[in-house]
Amino acid sequence: MSDGEKIRVMIVDDIVDTRDQLEKLLFFEKDIEVIAKASNGREAVALAKQQRPDVILMDINMPDMDGITATEAIMTQDPTVQVIIMSVQGETDYLRRAMLAGAREFLTKPISADDLYKSIRHVYKLATTRPRPVVGGAGPGVAVAGEGGAEGQIIAVFSPKGGVGTSVVAANLAVAIRQLTSKKVALVDANVLFGDLSVILNLRSDKTIIDLAQRVDELDRDLINDVLTTHTSQVKVLLAPPDPQRGELVSSDHIRAILEALKQEFDFVIVDTPASFQDRSLAVLDMATRIVTLLTLEMHCIRNIKLFLEVADLLEYPHEKVMLVLNKASNRTGIRAEDVEKNIQRKIQLQIGDAGQEMTFSINQGVPLVIGKPTHQVVRDLGVLARELSTAAKPVTAASAAAPTTEAAQKSSGLFSRLIKR
């Protein structure tokens, strides 16, 4: 925000006292100005058109037109406006619908002054720092994502347990999707502290995610083109910083902005996601079209998977967003996949076999198995996964995955505080 410019806020609530109270709370904030008040959804739609507020505080239950219908109508007429839904406890279903309607944030009544200020500034900042739409002709090797300029898909490869193969599967999957579709594929090393895609793919570059994080306000095709490293498969790779100290400089907001920009440029953005519930991982998971969730037939991994599925439900990720994939599948572990399915009450959608030493060899050579051993059974398994994702993933994006993405994109305060807010 430039000096002297204020965040223009509209308050929508049918209770006059609530409107007045909110206005009083905002009165002394130098950077915020209440420019309009409405007592129902219909009035809000008309006023929003006239007054063009930056942020709207919207009640849900109102006579004549409710807050969700109003949000939908307002977002259609002006998609840049930021709507914060105000609700009372226990209106989770409404909240979900509100998020689908395009609301950016929600506050539970009674609303504390602090939460109110924070939310308004946060959504306003989000709107102003969103990556600029990419304009101009395609640079070498990079073109507009998806036919007809549609957004690409973000595929997070993730496991709540470290060491189960997330990085090798992400790398091989990216190459396999590229081979299968010839579309534009990016691979992101979101392990900003201990990334290892550069080793797995034998890539060397001094340009890393840091170079995009430092310039999130300038993310455009040229910058992306300049920073991503081209693998021989034509997959474009965003490498992790060379050391954890520099990795610490990359925040979850950076990751969100970078993924947002990449999905404008690429048809598929595959993300090697750190095995944690820290903000950086959550940012990736929230934004993903699909989460390829890896598990192995080991008790501690299965336990973590169970916990993750519970968390995914609490975060209201649609079931089809989370795709369970068994890695290093083998019948020599003493645990059967069917028993795991019974235990976690979810289907394992796909299995990738155990390539044993050949996987280690491929890592040491820096040549992904899908290139070095194209007829290997594990490569066939990866091919099935690539086909499944490149053909079937799209329908999940639009409505069902949009809600948690939009909603959660506002919350950068860690898993715990997000869950207790529900």
Ligand X SMILES: Nc1ncnc2c1ncn2[C@@H]1O[C@H](COP(=O)(O)OP(=O)(O)OP(=O)(O)O)[C@@H](O)[C@H]1O
Q: Which residues bind Mg ion (CB under 5 A)?
A: 166-167
Provide the pairing of β-strand 236-238 with 229-230: antiparallel
Distance in angstroms (rounded) separating the CA atoms of residues 214 and 107: 31
Q: Is residue 354 part of the contact set for ligand X (CB under 6 A)?
A: yes
Report in angstroms the alpha-carbon separations of 150 from 85, 146, 177.
29, 5, 18
Q: Is residue 293 part of the contact set for ligand X (CB under 6 A)?
A: no
Q: Tokens 């942020």 appear where?
A: 55
Tell me, by CB under 6 A, how many residues bind ligand X. 20
Q: Which of 164, 175, 240, 340 binds ligand X (CB under 6 A)?
A: 164
Q: Is residue 165 part of the contact set for ligand X (CB under 6 A)?
A: yes
Residue 314 has a CB neighbour count (10 Å cut-off) of 12
Q: Could you tell me the smallest distance in angstroms from the CB atom of residue 363 to ligand X?
A: 5
Q: Could you tell me the smallest distance in angstroms from the CB atom of residue 352 to ligand X?
A: 5
Cβ closest to ligand X, residue 56 vs residue 352 = 352
Nearest CA-CA partner of 305 in 320, 289, 326: 326
Distance in angstroms (rounded) separating the CA atoms of residues 396 and 389: 11
Q: Is residue 163 part of the contact set for ligand X (CB under 6 A)?
A: yes
Q: Could you tell me the smallest distance in angstroms from the CB atom of residue 292 to ligand X?
A: 12
Q: Which of 275, 305, 315, 379 binds ligand X (CB under 6 A)?
A: 275
Partner interacting with residue 360 (select from Mg ion, ligand X, none; CB below 5-8 Å by kind): ligand X
Q: Is residue 328 part of the contact set for ligand X (CB under 6 A)?
A: yes
Are 100 and 402 contacting, i.e. CB atoms less than 8 angstroms apart? yes
Are 408 and 282 contacting, i.e. CB atoms less than 8 angstroms apart? yes
Q: Is residue 162 part of the contact set for ligand X (CB under 6 A)?
A: yes
Cβ closest to ligand X, residue 12 vs residue 355 = 355
Range 56-115, binding ligand X (CB under 6 A): none
Q: Tokens 């455009």 appear where?
A: 220
Report in angstroms the alpha-carbon separations of 126 from 121, 159, 263, 289.
8, 29, 17, 21
Q: Which residues contact 260 (CB under 8 A, 6 or more apart)?
A: 130, 131, 287
Q: Which two tokens stand for residue 382?
A: 């990866």
Q: Is residue 360 part of the contact set for ligand X (CB under 6 A)?
A: yes
Range 166-195, binding ligand X (CB under 6 A): 166-168, 191
Interface ranges with ligand X (CB under 6 A): 159, 162-168, 191, 275, 327-328, 352, 354-356, 359-360, 363, 378
